[in-house]
Amino acid sequence: MQSVSNYNFSGKKALVRVDFNVPLNDRFEITDDTRIKATIPTIEKILKDGGSVILMSHLGRPKDGPTEKYSLKHLVTPLSIVFGVQVKFATDCIGDDAVELAEALKPGEILLLENLRFYKEEEKGDVDFAKKLARLGDVWVNDAFGTAHRAHASTAVVGQFFNEKVSGYVMQAELDNAKKILENAERPFTAIMGGSKISDKILIIEQLLDKVDNLIIGGGMTYTFTLAEGGKIGKSICEPDKVELAKSLLEKAKAKGVKLYMPVDNVCADDFNNNANRQTVTTGEIPDGWEGLDIGPKSVELFQKVVAESKTILWNGPMGVFEFPNFAIGTNAIADAVVKATEENGAFSLIGGGDSASAVNNAGYGDRVSYVSTGGGALLEYMEGKVLPGVAALE
Ligand code: AMP
């Protein structure tokens, strides 16, 4: 795979797929620019080489074509500030103005295309649409790991129209770090899986059972396991139709010699809100009308000990409803333990996308773990052993 670091972009127009799917508030201001900042090294490298950059991305999930709310024009000013050049904007990603602006682009300049998903052809992976995008650049750079699991026009299909295909720094870092975990993990290797549902994580958990020494399970998915073991879970989130699956996972872990750790106590609430009444109970003893929203202090102690003894840590999914500060204590305590293991014991820690990444960033720990992945679903699919179309297109 050709990497951005050893490709010379001098005189080239680089068509760069980025993931600028950033959250915007009611005034169309960016509330978290992590994804934009992540692309700075790739874009600066191209400009420094004497190339020009044509940025393409999606934003949100527009249903019926152009929508003000999902327009990438809201990013023109913030991007101009970040990159120190006035970013040009094409109001139609494959229109005449895009072609004209791309043709006139000089070395050192940046052109941003309007939201790719204003055309339904993008998500359909339409070949003609991809061909029209390809007209705009001389070389295709894919730096959008977060959408690499989708065979969309700009993330994969467009690759067939280029002789020169280059992976950006974000893509490279994501793949390198995921490979490090999957292929070269120093032991003991501990995976911490949380989040709401077992059904979302089952494939990755099964894959990990072949690789890890310890598997910690927390968050909402625990209650399906508790149910499988005949415990009382009150009105906690659970998937009764996945009870058999939970049982078979427990058996598989045992057969493979993986040490499985589940919460031994739970903080439960009488309502799903931050100010609900709280009580801590032993696992399997949640009273009727109450729901488990966090792991309890004994579980924190147990999990912290396992994390402290680990040399490789993969974490995906919060330990509870961390969006409510009163139920974020378990998640924050685990974040704390992962940071300690990284800083004090030299463990390699990868935080896997989505909610666990925001939990770690919210706690101010983003720079104190080894790597925070920006690719939620893509990282999970990669770890499940699937071929990512956006990566395959680069090869
Ligand atoms: P996921 O996207 O599967 O990683 O799940 C993340 C979501 O799971 C977060 O929004 C959490 O609020 C939610 N979650 C974690 N623990 C619980 C729980 N005990 N009950 C309900 N939701 C939970």
Count how many Cα atoms sit within 13 Å of the Cα of residue 155 in the half-sphere of its side chain.
26
Q: Is 239 in the pocket of ligand 1 (CB under 6 A)?
A: no
Minimum CA distance residue for ligand 1 atom 11: 321
pLDDT score of 330: 97
Domain that holds residue 56: 4-171
The two tokens of residue 323 are 């969006």
Instruction: Please indicate, yes or no, whether residues 99 and 195 belong to a single structural domain of this protein.
Output: no
Within a domain: 250: yes
Within a domain: 369: yes
**Is 377 among the catalytic positions?**
yes
Instruction: Please indicate, yes or no, whether residues 34 and 113 belong to a single structural domain of this protein.
Output: yes
- Ligand 1 pocket, mutate which of 265, 267, 331, 355 (most atoms under 8 A from CB): 355
pLDDT along the chain (395 residues), means of 10: 96 97 93 90 98 97 94 98 97 98 98 98 98 98 96 98 98 95 95 91 91 97 94 97 93 96 98 98 98 98 98 95 96 96 97 80 88 88 93 96
Using the mean position of ligand 1's atoms as its centre, give its distance from the Cα of residue 376 in Å.
14
Question: Is 61 one of the annotated binding-site residues?
Answer: yes
pLDDT score of 243: 94
pLDDT score of 320: 96
Instruction: Please indicate, yes or no, whether residues 113 and 205 belong to a single structural domain of this protein.
Output: no
Instruction: Please indicate, yes or no, whether residues 23 and 100 belong to a single structural domain of this protein.
Output: yes
The residues facing 260 across adjacent strands are 215
Which of 171, 197, 228 corresponds to the end of one domain? Answer: 171
Residues 6+ apart with CB under 8 A from 248: none
What's the predicted TM-score (pTM) here? Answer: 0.89
Instruction: Please indicate, yes or no, whether residues 240 and 164 belong to a single structural domain of this protein.
Output: no
pLDDT score of 360: 85
Q: Residues 132, 137, 138, CA angle at the centre, nearest 5°?
A: 125
Residues 6+ apart with CB under 8 A from 129: 94, 119, 121, 122, 153
pLDDT score of 261: 97
Within a domain: 131: yes
Using the mean position of ligand 1's atoms as its centre, give its distance from the Cα of residue 294 in Å.
9
Minimum CA distance residue for ligand 1 atom 13: 196
Q: How many domains does the chain have?
A: 2
Q: For the domain that residue 57 is a member of, what is the CATH number?
A: 3.40.50.1260
Within a domain: 265: yes
Using the mean position of ligand 1's atoms as its centre, give its distance from the Cα of residue 220 in Å.
6
Q: Is 357 in the pocket of ligand 1 (CB under 6 A)?
A: no
Which of 138, 171, 204 corresponds to the end of one domain? Answer: 171
Atom number of ligand 1 nearest to Cα 324: 12
Q: Is 292 in the pocket of ligand 1 (CB under 6 A)?
A: yes
Minimum CA distance residue for ligand 1 atom 6: 195
Instruction: Please indicate, yes or no, whether residues 318 and 217 belong to a single structural domain of this protein.
Output: yes
> Of 95, 366, 376, 377, which is the active-site residue?
377
Using the mean position of ligand 1's atoms as its centre, give its distance from the Cα of residue 73 in Å.
33
For the stretch 201-244, pLDDT in tens is: 888 899 999 999 999 999 999 999 999 999 999 999 999 999 99
pLDDT score of 202: 87
Using the mean position of ligand 1's atoms as its centre, give its distance from the Cα of residue 262 in Å.
16
Atom number of ligand 1 nearest to Cα 317: 4
Q: Is 237 in the pocket of ligand 1 (CB under 6 A)?
A: yes
Per the CB < 8 A criterion, the answer to whether 110 and 88 are in contact is yes
Within a domain: 301: yes
Which of 110, 141, 171 corresponds to the end of one domain? Answer: 171
Q: Is 321 in the pocket of ligand 1 (CB under 6 A)?
A: yes
pLDDT score of 73: 98
Instruction: Please indicate, yes or no, whether residues 259 and 150 belong to a single structural domain of this protein.
Output: no
**Is 354 among the catalytic positions?**
yes
> Of 13, 35, 45, 88, which is the active-site residue?
35
Q: Is 195 in the pocket of ligand 1 (CB under 6 A)?
A: yes
Atom number of ligand 1 nearest to Cα 218: 16
